[in-house]
């Protein structure tokens, strides 16, 4: 229904669809750079276990050995190959971050959509409960649950998703409130379409733009939070290869061989910065700002007319 009577694509004043936003983000040079940086790290994490020259738990030399032909990045605190552990330590943190982000964004979107469309008591109850959840510091909340139950992968995913959901719900609610006042939603109500169908068919497709931006931002936060849990000892446990755990384990040997700490930090930083740049470019494209830097200022009506007067 929304495609029939909603605003036409590209019409004046109509926001671009999410497909148009994704096509236009390339107009931002930094957005393309961010995409390439994030994609490179993700490919390294996914293909790394197949490219590792040795097992990540195999002892190949003395602890904190300098880089050599046998170990290009040297060895870690136990004499394991740093390059192999770097190759094998990324897919776990990426998998947990992706799962937590998808669950958190989907759950928050559903809550915000329901609150923004149904309004009334349902809106008040949902938003007040989310305000209570937002009052707890994120890292402390994650540490509380993980310390009580244990560093289980499913628990880390659910806790990080629960941390993201309230913030995503606020964004989804604000967008839903605006879309709910459109004519095509009122028409759907007039012909007797159920609330569930209206939310799924009419409102949700029109709030995908801000949700895509939130997806990128929450993915970045998930990586930082899960890596931080591993650094504190509440994530992956030894002898697992994990970037956050590698930083914590090998920081005592920075003077002897800094690569077990420096390389994971650089990969996490490149991934988060690249994701942020790409997300910002998508957000600007969604707001129709992609062509502004090259379009130049719009001339005022009758500008310069007074010169010949």
Mean pLDDT along residues 244-264: 92
- 217 shares a domain with 190: yes
| 111 shares a domain with 50 | no
Residue 298 lies in a domain: no
- Residue 205 shares a structural domain with residue 256: no
The model's pLDDT over 175-195, given as tens digits with 9 standing for 90+, comes to 999 988 888 888 888 888 888
Task: Answer whether residue 302 is part of any domain.
Answer: no
Of the candidate ranges 6-20, 64-78, 87-101, the one whose mean pLDDT is the lowest: 6-20
Check: CB of residue 111 under 8 Å from CB of residue 284: no
Q: Which residues contact 97 (CB under 8 A, 6 or more apart)?
A: 160, 219, 222, 223, 226
The reply to whether 189 and 207 lie within a common domain is yes
In the predicted model, is pLDDT for residue 121 greater than 80?
A: yes
Number of domains composing the chain: 2
Please give the DSSP secondary-structure letter assigned to residue 54.
S
What's the helix, strand, coil split of the chain in %, to 5?
70, 0, 30
**Are 97 and 195 part of one and the same domain?**
yes
239: cis peptide before it, omega within 30°?
Answer: yes
Q: In this predicted model, which residue has the larger pLDDT, 292 or 15? A: 15
Mean pLDDT for 112-127 is 88
Q: If you average pLDDT over every residue of the chain, what do you get?
A: 82
Question: Does 141 share its domain with 41?
Answer: no
What domain range includes position 46? Answer: 17-90+241-291
CB 151 within 8 A of CB 215: no
Place of tokens 């999410």: 18
- Same domain for 83 and 97: no
What is the chain's alpha carbon radius of gyration, rounded to the nearest angstrom? Answer: 24
Tell me whether residue 6 is in a domain.
no
- Both 172 and 286 in one domain: the answer is no
CATH code, 119: 1.10.3720.10
Report whether pLDDT(286) > 60: yes
Residue 8 lies in a domain: no
| Alpha-carbon distance values, 262 to 38, 44, 48, 236 (Å) | 18, 16, 18, 19
The verdict on pTM exceeding 0.85 is no
């Amino acid at each position: 229904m929304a495609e029939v009577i909603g605003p036409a694509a590209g019409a004046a004043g109509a926001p671009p669809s999410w497909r148009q936003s994704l096509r236009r983000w390339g107009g931002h040079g930094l957005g393309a750079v961010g995409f390439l940086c994030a994609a490179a790290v993700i490919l390294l994490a996914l293909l790394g276990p197949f490219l590792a020259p040795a097992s990540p738990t195999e002892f190949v030399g003395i602890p904190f050995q300098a880089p050599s032909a046998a170990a290009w990045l040297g060895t870690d605190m136990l004499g394991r190959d740093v390059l192999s552990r770097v190759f094998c330590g990324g897919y776990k943190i990426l998998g947990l971050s992706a799962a937590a982000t998808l669950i958190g964004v989907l759950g928050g979107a559903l809550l915000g959509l329901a609150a923004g469309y149904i309004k009334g008591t349902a809106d008040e109850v949902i938003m007040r409960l989310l305000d209570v959840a937002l009052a707890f510091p994120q890292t402390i909340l994650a540490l509380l649950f993980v310390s009580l139950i244990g560093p289980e992968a499913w628990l880390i995913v659910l806790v990080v998703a629960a941390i993201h959901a309230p913030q995503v719900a606020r964004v989804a609610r604000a967008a839903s409130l605006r879309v709910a006042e459109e004519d095509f939603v009122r028409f759907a109500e007039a012909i007797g379409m159920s609330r569930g169908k209206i939310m799924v068919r009419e409102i949700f497709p029109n709030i995908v733009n801000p949700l895509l931006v939130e997806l990128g931002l929450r993915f970045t936060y998930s990586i930082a939070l899960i890596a931080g849990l591993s650094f504190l000892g509440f994530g992956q446990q030894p002898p697992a290869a994990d970037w956050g755990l590698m930083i914590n384990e090998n920081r005592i040997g920075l003077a002897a061989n800094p690569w077990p700490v420096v390389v994971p930090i650089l990969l996490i930083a490149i991934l988060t910065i690249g994701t942020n740049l790409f997300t910002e470019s998508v957000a600007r494209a969604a707001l129709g700002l992609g062509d502004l830097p090259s379009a130049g200022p719009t001339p005022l009506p009758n500008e310069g007319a007074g010169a010949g007067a």
